[in-house]
Structure 1
Amino acid sequence: MITMEKLDKIFRAYDIRGIYPTEINEDIAYKIGRGVARFLGAKKIVIGRDNRLSSDGLFQSICEGIRDEGIDVLDIGVTITPIFYLVAAKYEYDGGIMISASHNPKEYNGFKIVGRKSMPIGEETGLMKIKKIVEKLKPISAKHKIKRGKIETKDVLPHYLKNILRFIDIESIKPLRVVVDTANGAAGPVIRALDKRLPISIIHIFADLDGSFPNHQPNPLYPGATLALQEKVIKQKADFGVAFDGDGDRIIFIDEKGERINPNYIAALIVNRFFRGRGQRISFDTPSSWILREEIRKSGNIPICTKVGHVYLKEKIVRQQAIFGAESSGHYYLLEDYSVESPFFVFFKILELISKEGKPLSELIKPFKKYYIDGALFKAENAEKKLEKLAKIYKNAPRVSLYDGLSVDYRNWHFVLRISHTEPVMRLMVEAKTQKLLEEKMKQIKSLIEEKK
């Protein structure tokens, strides 16, 4: 039985997501398939899925729902989200559904929905309309005369490889050693295919597909998830390491010393080397570092701030024709790559820089480590009240914004506190001009958030 309360819980800001099978299951998937088919009014819908244990069952059910509405399905199999986005955009399908909970733990699953040109459908662009359709759906009667849609299966990995390999100067790449951790997730087959095509040595760990994610959580943003990768980089004397999340749209870098690199520094490096003097817009999200904003301006481009989330970043990139976009969580977007998430563009450019400049990754990043950054997670209990409390406390700051959570800026430090749309947590980012000030402000804000009052 689908209740309003259950739908309210799984329909989020930019996707549908919940715990399987209590919040998301085959029954809900079937009805969401019908709802999306009606909303899109499509002829054919692309369906991809990650390798979570529940993905195959949800795929079968969502396809049944779509086909019962007379709509055809293109099944692109187990894949990464960037491939799904590319197929929907490049081949001009009417829309699509990616079955994935991205970086969430194994018990989660969900649906990312796109329309034409792979434009994400979020709460402001149709997700709530789909929810209303699902709420009002009635069982299909025997008198239902719509001809069922057909299903076609296609291997799209060769198309994706051809697309991304146009972004690398292979002749310039030296025989580097790179450790890659795909977390037993869907990026594994992509890395295996690239290993045959790139003139580098890839040491691939946790490569086998296993939707139980037995080795670590499929979220490389969490420090604990990259410990094995960091150790492997040092042991193998690798030039660097990269970690992907469960659906392959998030990429985190490890330098040759085994140190994690903040995604803001990678973004700043890419802007500095590959987008200098363009005079174009470049997007970033609210928790991004000062250094990225500064580098966008210094490189002769125009900084564009967006809310956190692919729905908001892609909308800005398309509407304002931003040539590049970066989220502080390790997501990167490229206008030239159909405006979709492009982790391999960034991966390839790091390979090029190390090869051409002859410097280790730690040295390439060093000029951008100008400020001190830290973060923390908190349970989302009474989250709105906590945001309101901190907004009152810091109301006299030089700059206060409620654009995406709470952003407070002072001359020598700033912070962003927001409620996650993908997990039941609040995320805090603090940045300061000195380590001492960072530690002082982190302690101060943590105590305010954790206060029982």
Structure 2
Amino acid sequence: MRVDERIFKAYDIRGTYPDQLNEEIAYLIGGAIVNVIRGRLIAVGRDVRVSSPALERALIRGMTDAGADVVIMGVIPTDAMYFAVGKYEFDGGVMVTASHNPPEYNGFKISRAQAIPLSGDEGLPEIKRIVMSGKFRAAKTPGTVHSKEILEDYINHCLSFINIDELLPFKIAIDATNGVAGIVLERLLQYLPFKVIKLFFEPDGRFPNHLPDPMDEKNREALRQAVLKNKCDFGVIFDGDADRMFMVDEHGEFIGGDMIVAMVARKMLSIEPGATIVHNLICSKVVDEIIEKYGGKAVRSRVGHAFLKPLMRQHNAIFGGEHSGHYFFRDHWYADSGMIAFLVATDVLSQEEKKPSELIAEMDHYFRSGEINTRVSDRWRTIECVAKKVEELTGQKADRLDGITFDFGEWWFNIRPSNTEPLLRLNVEATSKELMEEKRDWILGIIEECK
């Protein structure tokens, strides 16, 4: 059997079904996971994709043949898997999902005990080696399989982050993307005072209405229209496995993930004044300013949960966030949760008694380029060339926490390499639209000279 090694990504295993990822490969992955994390009791959940049940069965067969006892969670959000691993003290957990990818994709998100994720730096290379060899170490006595219902415990856990009695009766449009979010929301919303306009709550792994990627503007169009048509206070959209959440304001305008990080940071700092909050370096300066304003300590991280989560543990940070819509909570085993972030954001809006656009306008005085990708032949050679040219032209040294970052006060930029493609990713932020566009074009010109 031939295995396409490209399925092993920076943070998970992912590929198209059935050509890159099929039942035979899932069986090998199951056994390899048990060999690597050396866990006896492992939880397994899945998303709503058409291929997920078959891949889950093969994965579990590999796990039990390697000696693990498997607890099946059924169809759950990825953040519910993290909850289960932490709450019930499992030795590890696997979520069968391809998150925001199109329906032909599937994959596996894997964590150790305490919901600590495996990544390309730790754990996944060992699994890859075993899978590529075509054989894992089988146990003399196979493991067992049991089922466990966790959604009620998970919902109560999510609700513990807010005071329900303080919520205002908002009118909200919610797009569940035909993913797993709808399953949870049908049960969660009965505890909340909101009037909800429901979009695509029916689980359908073909994602017939739009792809489950909220970062793509066209996938938010139905939500925007629903907010405007129904005169909603705001709108909310989840990705396919519901670990990410984004919002639109009362005008249907997109609220970036870093603005939600800033909103949630306010709430968490009211709970624990002086606490540490970790954010990736692509987040707007707004995040640092809000953390400072409300008495917290900000810690910058490289992009990616494999880097952010260990920093949170190191600093005992109460909260962490990324511009990409991942929000991490210390009391959620340092894992990300779109559902908890949704609840906390509604709590903030209730306390402030302001429209989302008003709250964002108070915080945000910057203009951003968005992430701009440039294809290059040699990522690091190009980055070093850009760094040298900018250092020579400005007299300032590059910050090399993740790629290169230059901060000139009124504007800053970061260039970092893609983990999987020959691309450089550029982000620029400035105090005016004109300055942002001028500097964006200047840096893009230097990239063109260097690539």
Specify the alignment match of 2:80 in structure 1.
Answer: 83
Map of 1:213-362 to 2, 5 A cutoff? 213-276=207-270, 278-362=273-357
Give the Å deviation of 1:306.
1.3
Deviates more, 1:286-295 or 1:128-137: 128-137
SS at 1:219 equivalent: coil
Give the Å deviation of 1:94.
0.3
Give the Å deviation of 1:101.
1.7
CA distance, structure 2, for counterparts of residue 424 and residue 181 of structure 1: 33
Map of 1:427-442 to 2, 5 A cutoff? 427-442=425-440
CA spacing shift, 1:340–1:252, aligned 2, 3 Å: same
CA spacing shift, 1:61–1:419, aligned 2, 3 Å: farther
Map of 1:102-251 to 2, 5 A cutoff? 102-138=99-135, 146-251=140-245
Specify the alignment match of 1:375 in structure 2.
Answer: 370
SS at 2:86 equivalent: helix
CA contact under 8 A between 2:242 and 2:339: conserved in structure 1? Answer: no
SS at 1:74 equivalent: strand
Specify the alignment match of 2:59 in structure 1.
Answer: 62
Q: Deviations over 1:264-307 (max 9, x none)?
A: 22222232344057222110012111111122223222211112
Which amino acid counterpart does residue 69 of structure 1 have in structure 2?
A
SS at 2:373 equivalent: strand
Which amino acid counterpart does residue 93 of structure 2 have in structure 1?
G
CA contact under 8 A between 1:17 and 1:422: conserved in structure 2? Answer: no
SS at 1:212 equivalent: coil
Give the Å deviation of 1:394.
2.1
Matched, 1:418 2:413: no
CA distance, structure 2, for counterparts of residue 32 and residue 22 of structure 1: 15
CA contact under 8 A between 2:100 and 2:239: conserved in structure 1? Answer: yes
CA contact under 8 A between 2:91 and 2:113: conserved in structure 1? Answer: yes
CA distance, structure 1, for counterparts of residue 308 and residue 229 of structure 2: 38
Give the Å deviation of 1:387.
2.9
Q: Deviations over 1:19-68 (max 9, x none)?
A: 22332222221111111111111111111111122222211111111111
Q: Deviations over 1:209-236 (max 9, x none)?
A: 1112222221111222111101110111
Which amino acid counterpart does residue 2 of structure 1 have in structure 2?
R
CA distance, structure 2, for counterparts of residue 169 and residue 26 of structure 1: 44
CA distance, structure 2, for counterparts of residue 47 and residue 344 of structure 1: 20
Deviates more, 1:411-420 or 1:174-183: 411-420
- Aligned residue pairs, count: 447
Query: In structure 1, which of residues 387, 390, 393 is the aligned counterpart of residue 389 of structure 2?
Result: 393
CA spacing shift, 1:326–1:86, aligned 2, 3 Å: same
Which amino acid counterpart does residue 31 of structure 1 have in structure 2?
L
CA contact under 8 A between 1:240 and 1:256: conserved in structure 2? Answer: yes
CA spacing shift, 1:419–1:211, aligned 2, 3 Å: farther
Q: Deviations over 1:377-433 (max 9, x none)?
A: 436552514434423332345341333233232222112223344777543221011
CA spacing shift, 1:278–1:403, aligned 2, 3 Å: same
CA distance, structure 2, for counterparts of residue 257 and residue 440 of structure 1: 29
SS at 1:375 equivalent: coil
CA distance, structure 1, for counterparts of residue 338 and residue 398 of structure 2: 32
- Give the TM-score normalised by the residue count of structure 2: 0.93
Unaligned stretches of 5+ in structure 1? none
Which amino acid counterpart does residue 391 of structure 1 have in structure 2?
A
Q: Deviations over 1:66-92 (max 9, x none)?
A: 111121111111211110110011111
Deviates more, 1:213-222 or 1:419-428: 419-428
Q: Deviations over 1:330-374 (max 9, x none)?
A: 111111222221323332233223333322111122111111112
CA distance, structure 2, for counterparts of residue 447 and residue 217 of structure 1: 33
Matched, 1:15 2:12: yes
CA contact under 8 A between 2:79 and 2:243: conserved in structure 1? Answer: yes
Give the Å deviation of 1:443.
2.5
CA distance, structure 2, for counterparts of residue 183 and residue 261 of structure 1: 18
Deviates more, 1:171-180 or 1:321-330: 171-180
Give the Å deviation of 1:12.
2.1
CA contact under 8 A between 2:180 and 2:242: conserved in structure 1? Answer: yes
Give the Å deviation of 1:139.
7.4
Give the Å deviation of 1:314.
1.4
CA distance, structure 1, for counterparts of residue 110 and residue 433 of structure 2: 42
CA distance, structure 1, for counterparts of residue 245 and residue 208 of structure 2: 19
CA contact under 8 A between 1:2 and 1:28: conserved in structure 2? Answer: no
CA spacing shift, 1:452–1:406, aligned 2, 3 Å: closer
Specify the alignment match of 1:2 in structure 2.
Answer: 2
CA contact under 8 A between 1:266 and 1:365: conserved in structure 2? Answer: no
Unaligned stretches of 5+ in structure 2? none
